[in-house]
Amino acid sequence: YKSWLFKVAINLYYDYCRKNKKSQYVVVEDYLITNERLIEEMMIAKENQLLVRRILQKVSPTFKQLLLLKYELDWSYKQIAEYIDMKPEAVKTYLARARKTFKEMYRRECNEKNE
C-alpha cells in the first residue's frame, strides 16, 4: 500500500512539474524504491545492525545468550529458563541487567561515534 501511495505521489509531482515547466525534477527510478524503503534507510538499518552485533560481542557471554534468545529468537521467559536451566524470575533479573548493560554500551558507542 505504501509503495503504491509513494508511486501516486511521484506521478502527481511529475504532473505538477510538467504544468510548471520552470521547475526541474529528478526522475526516481523504480529500482531505487525497494520494499517500501529508500536505499538510505536500508544503509542506516545495516549500520545499526552492525553496531548492535559489535556491542553484543563485548557483553558477557551470558548476557549475549539471554539477549539473543529473547530478542532474536523471540523466546518467552519460560522457554529461556527451561533451555538454560534457570528459574523464570532469575531469567527476568538477568535479562534486565543485560538490557541495562547493552543500553549503556550502545549509548557510549553512539556518543564516541558522534564526537
- At 104, the pLDDT band (50, 70, 90 cuts) reads very high
What is the spatial distance between Cα 98 and Cα 96, in angstroms, rounded to a whole number? 5
Q: How far is CA 51 from the centre of its chain?
A: 10
pLDDT given at position 8: 72
Highest mean pLDDT among 5-14, 20-29, 40-49, 99-108: 99-108
Candidate from 10-19, 29-38, 59-68, 81-90 with smallest mean pLDDT: 29-38
Q: Are 54 and 109 in contact (CB under 8 A)?
A: yes
pTM above 0.75, yes or no: no
Cell of residue 70, nine digits: 529473547
What is the spatial distance between Cα 71 and Cα 65, in angstroms, rounded to a whole number? 10
Enumerate domains of the chain plus CATH numbers: 1-34 (no CATH), 39-114 (1.10.10.10)
Q: Are 59 and 105 in contact (CB under 8 A)?
A: yes
* Cβ neighbours, 10 Å, residue 63: 19
**C-alpha to C-alpha distances, 14 to 10, 33, 90, 112, nearest whole angstrom:** 6, 16, 59, 43
Average pLDDT along the chain: 80
